[in-house]
Structure 1
Amino acid sequence: MATTTQTQFKRDILEGDTNEQVTALLQHNLVNLVDLALLMKQAHWNVFGPNFRSIHLQLDEIIATVRDSSDEVAERIAALGVAADGRSCTVAADSDLTDYPREFVDVKQSIALVADATKTTIDSLRAAIEKLGDLDPVSEDLLIAIAGPMEKHLWMLQAQE
């Protein structure tokens, strides 16, 4: 993960190695969030079957949360003086998420796949939260604020399985 491209900010928020560690953790979660939004949009477009409309609409609600979250993470990385990297090549290379099928997927399987991807993203957020506590409480709080709504979305997905 490229976290070495720093701007010429005169006033660093975090110093040296701490900044590198924090921005690497944030960058990893940014990649997962960007990929999750794309995966969910793929599911949204290609879901079919009973209860199609409700899951179709629910996915858009989750996507809005995920996109807002990725924006917050990217802006935190930039605030720390590092260029955030949400390019497709970076997401494809670095995401923890399993590829989503290209084909139409029935509602039941779509829910399972999206729930799995959401859980993977939450696991990554929680792992970073654990490490950020001692490094940067502001970034820790940001990821905590993201994890809560993501866990609620996971609950609502799993309630349909």
Structure 2
Amino acid sequence: MKASPTLTGNLQTVLVDLIELHVQGKQAHWNIVGTNFRDLHLQLDEIIDAARQFADDTAERMRALHALPDGRTSTVAKSTSLAEFPAGLIDTHDAIERVVAALEAAVGTMRKVHDEVDEEDPTSADLLHEFIARLEQFAWLVNAETMKPTAKVATPSKK
């Protein structure tokens, strides 16, 4: 099978968000300070490892479909849907909010392209299912760091 331009574009969109998620995770990992530093520092390692693996899986799937992945920094910077992560030290609470937002943005991209991907290549859609499930789990785990036990229900983002 050879990927159509639509499938190639959709997988490329997922790829750049996964690369950016990995890079933002490292930025947070290196610069967080504050309460529960160690727990978040270690949790970020898990997210980073998953994002790197998912990016590699996506790029290799693209190559299997005779598409050319583009993971150059210039491409990622101009086409990611993730908001820019701030420079410098960041409090754990603020980092949690930003990491959850980045995870949700990456998932949002995957959900946005899912139906078109599934229509052309269910195998690639299966990868997206795996990525979505794991990234949503990470978002829940990270977000739980700042939730209060009085919270009734966590409200998902509207993206």
In the alignment, what sits opposite 1:77?
A: 62
Report sequence identity in percent.
37
Tell whether 2:43 aligns with 1:58: yes
Structure 2 residue runs of 5 or longer lacking an equivalent are 147-159
**CA drift at 1:134:** 1.5
Q: The residue matched to 2:66 in structure 1 has which SS?
A: coil
**CA drift at 1:20:** 1.1
Structure 1 residue runs of 5 or longer lacking an equivalent are 1-12
**1:131 is matched with which residue: 116, 127, 134?**
116
Structure 2 CA distance, aligned partners of 1:91 and 1:72? 17
Q: The residue matched to 1:141 in structure 2 has which SS?
A: helix
**CA drift at 1:126:** 1.1
Cα deviations across residues 51-106 of structure 1 (Å, max 9, x unaligned)?
10000010001100110000000001111112210010100111111110111000
Tell whether 2:16 aligns with 1:31: yes
- TM-score scaled by structure 2? 0.89
- TM-score scaled by structure 1? 0.88
In the alignment, what sits opposite 2:94?
A: 109
**CA drift at 1:29:** 0.5
Structure 1 CA distance, aligned partners of 2:52 and 2:120? 25
**CA drift at 1:36:** 0.5
Q: The residue matched to 2:4 in structure 1 has which SS?
A: helix
**CA drift at 1:131:** 2.1
Tell whether 2:33 aligns with 1:48: yes
Aligned residues: 146
Structure 1 CA distance, aligned partners of 2:67 and 2:116? 19
Structure 1 CA distance, aligned partners of 2:145 and 2:110? 24
Amino acid at match of 2:30: W
In the alignment, what sits opposite 1:94?
A: 79
Structure 1 CA distance, aligned partners of 2:36 and 2:82? 25
**CA drift at 1:145:** 1.3
**CA drift at 1:130:** 2.2
Structure 1 CA distance, aligned partners of 2:35 and 2:142? 15
- Return 133-142 or 148-157, whichever deviates more: 133-142
Structure 2 CA distance, aligned partners of 1:104 and 1:88? 23
Tell whether 2:6 aligns with 1:21: yes
Tell whether 2:106 aligns with 1:160: no
Structure 1 CA distance, aligned partners of 2:139 and 2:69? 26
